[in-house]
Amino acid sequence: MTPLPFDDYHALSDAECQARIRAARQQLGKEAVLLCHHYQRADVYQHADLTGDSLKLSRLAAETDSPHIVFCGVHFMAEVADIMSRPEQTAILPDLAAGCSMADMANLAKVERCWRELGEALEVEANFTPVTYINSAADLKAFCGEHGGIVCTSSNAGVIAQWAFGRRPKILFFPDQHLGRWTGHNMGIPLDEMRVWDPDLPLGGLTPNAINQAKILLWKGHCSVHQMFNKRQIDAFRARHPDGIVIAHPECSFEVCAASDHVGSTELIVKTIKEAPAGTRWLVGTELNLVERLAREVAPQGKTVQFMSDIICMCSTMQRIDPRHLAWTLENLAAGQLVNPIIVPPHEAKLAKLALERMLALR
């Protein structure tokens, strides 16, 4: 049977598309579980069976009876779901173009070249523990698995860094320099002992002496959404609302994190604001869809939640998972056709799972 062509879905009205999603989900029943990341757009998020951050969703999906895991997120998230799910389960990404610009800033070829170049400056395997943020491709997680490294999330990066330093004196942290820098700062590591590795320059743009003196090498990568926030926005908020509270994601710049009252993962941001006293006012430095959803949820308690930037900035790649792609995916499943499965090669999956299991053992 030929899969239903996606082009047929362009002409659907919003109402028709939503109705067809609901009908396909009802037909599929427990054959498919629908996961939606916190940053997902509202017209897709409303259909979720499970919501949360990427790791939480993958772990929950593996515990379900559903053979099909439809991940409304981005590519690396669906890869993690495939790695962590049972053999009889299949992860699906409704639009293969839904990637992550941060994850793309560190690819395997560049990381392997970095590892070789570090080996020219010192004994790399004895000195560096590779740590990759979960926002990375499966082959980089596999690289960490192979080289005694580990995966971290924005909520456990400090614990992971302590583990890494317990094994070797230095850390190579990728792909997000800002999470790595904030983590090191919270451990008391001076900023001048955390150097940025530029993968497009020989030896990362560093001297052998700088590499020897560094405790953490930070990959030159970032989340474009979280770079929209700055300290001026925080200062303006505090001038208008002296009693206001600022909370930011650690993917924000060091200046934003240092000027905030709280810094933490999406899960921590949601938990902190929901558990805060009634009537409090918040400035939030993270993705727009999450902030707007949270603002609606806590408004009945008299809480005010404000997006940090005056410029609309949402995760543009996550936005590619739209209702039409979701309808296409679900209707194909209902017709017995599998579209856009995410299958990590077995050898790569084995090593990536090793790095993930090292992390999970510390949680």
* Residue owning tokens 């669906």: 78
Domains of the chain plus CATH, in order, are: 6-98+317-349 (3.40.50.10800), 103-224 (3.40.50.10800), 226-307 (3.40.50.10800)
Using DSSP, state whether 257 is helix, strand or coil.
Answer: helix
Note whether 9 and 324 are within 8 A (CB): yes
Amino acid at 179: L
* Residue owning tokens 């090793």: 354
Whole-prediction pTM:
0.93
CA distance 278 to 284: 17
Question: Is the Cα torsion angle 25, 72, 68, 334 positive or negative in sign?
Answer: positive
- Does residue 1 surpass a pLDDT of 70? no
Structure tokens at 169: 């004196």
The torsion angles phi and psi of 325, rounded to 5 degrees, stand at -65, -35
Element (H, E) at 358: helix 346-360
Burial class (CB in 10 A: 0-12, 13-18, 19+), 201: exposed
Across the beta sheet with 341-342, what order do the strands follow?
Answer: 50-52, 32-37, 68-72, 90-92, 341-342
Q: What is the pLDDT of residues 320-362, one digit of tens each?
A: 899 999 999 999 999 999 999 999 999 999 999 999 999 999 9
The torsion angles phi and psi of 37, rounded to 5 degrees, stand at -70, 155
Kindly report whether the peptide bond that precedes residue 175 is cis, defined as omega within 30 degrees of 0.
yes
Q: Report the pLDDT value the prediction gives residue 8, as an integer from 0 to 100.
A: 85
Average pLDDT (192-221) is 97
Q: What is the pLDDT of residues 128-167, one digit of tens each?
A: 999 999 999 999 999 999 999 999 999 999 999 999 999 9
Q: What is the pLDDT of residues 283-318, one digit of tens each?
A: 999 989 899 999 999 999 999 999 999 877 666 677
CA distance 49 to 308: 29
